[in-house]
Structure 1
């Protein structure tokens, strides 16, 4: 079964509190984010062009009765368009909606519809995608079935699920909100490492990134300003200003076994350099 298409039927306008947020949406919507601000500014200027797709309370609770307390007394449940819903709420306007109860025919169909817009438009960061895919696998019973439902390959599903095996520090680096974000291609095999190995790999990546961003000589006044370091690199620098201070910080936080594992990872290429 392929990702269900979001119906483009007639719309109506209702108070925002008549529409509950989608409890299954893996996207964490920050009401103060630049994305919501842009949508809010656009709606304030020209109005809400694209309606928020919803299903009725009855249709949603027929497949997800466990979420009744979360949707409270709302008449509808949002499927997609969560940022639009947030922006309209901030503007205290009516929310334009399109009702499509066919999307709540089954649990897997509703979840696929929830993920469809975000995946197609790449609105989710990799970790949010991974949590969404994990939910789909649980709903469908296998990675293969989830891949078919999402119109993705089984390899893509496996790659996203592997991200959930990464330690929080690595996951945080994957969702940096700028050009300094840790690329997915770099962490492709990191899920095979233990926690100490992943931390060592992240530290080494941060060291290399810092070296790239550190000029070898003073830059002329007309040069382009150096790019801002990511929060991850800044966090690594906060471990200490010198190797000795970094070592002291790690000794205070990590076990002897983990520190040895990190040392082994950092010195992995030392033999070839010394020869």
Structure 2
């Protein structure tokens, strides 16, 4: 009888211990899962943040906040380097808003070479169309050589800090300039091809997904760098190329200049559908 009693007691103790152990691991797993969910939630949030689209706000231009740029000061007559600013270029829907000195990466040739003192201007597209390409020529008084400022893909109302095209012309506060000429090409609208292509981005990667069942031989994604002050940095437009984007498939490119933090996708083009 005593033996039977001991067996019963032992069984009860083992059951209680077992329940305790099972209870401990259930709580631990739930806590781990809760922590995992919390962590996963953070990751998703960060990815959402990374993949959010950046758009330049054309109504919030602040020239004094453009990184690396120092506007030239006006003289007693209100002239800046001999120019009345803003200078509206006749029949071109272009304004030169500022002229001054840029220090930082020289982006106009894609080299990103460090420059200490480059002549630069802030140009605004005052039309309701995108300027696909444009060029402004100035001349420094006392010289015969023209100075070029080249820019591409300026959407309506947007502005760009455009550096002198060669990066070899320095800014001097004593220099005076005159406007010579300009050329502008416009397009009524640009497309992101959202009916055919889905674009997602993360860090420096751009991924294009073909939403159709037809192969897209070549897809180009164009983007510009947005700097502080709601202004494009440089006249340059970067382009990422995607080849052989098959129907309903995705292709990812690791770019040199794109970043979710400071890049705006301007337009997408597709060629040779088959």
Q: Would you say same fold, with TM above 0.5?
A: no
Larger Rg: 2
Give the structure with the larger helix fraction: 1
TM-score (norm 2): 0.21
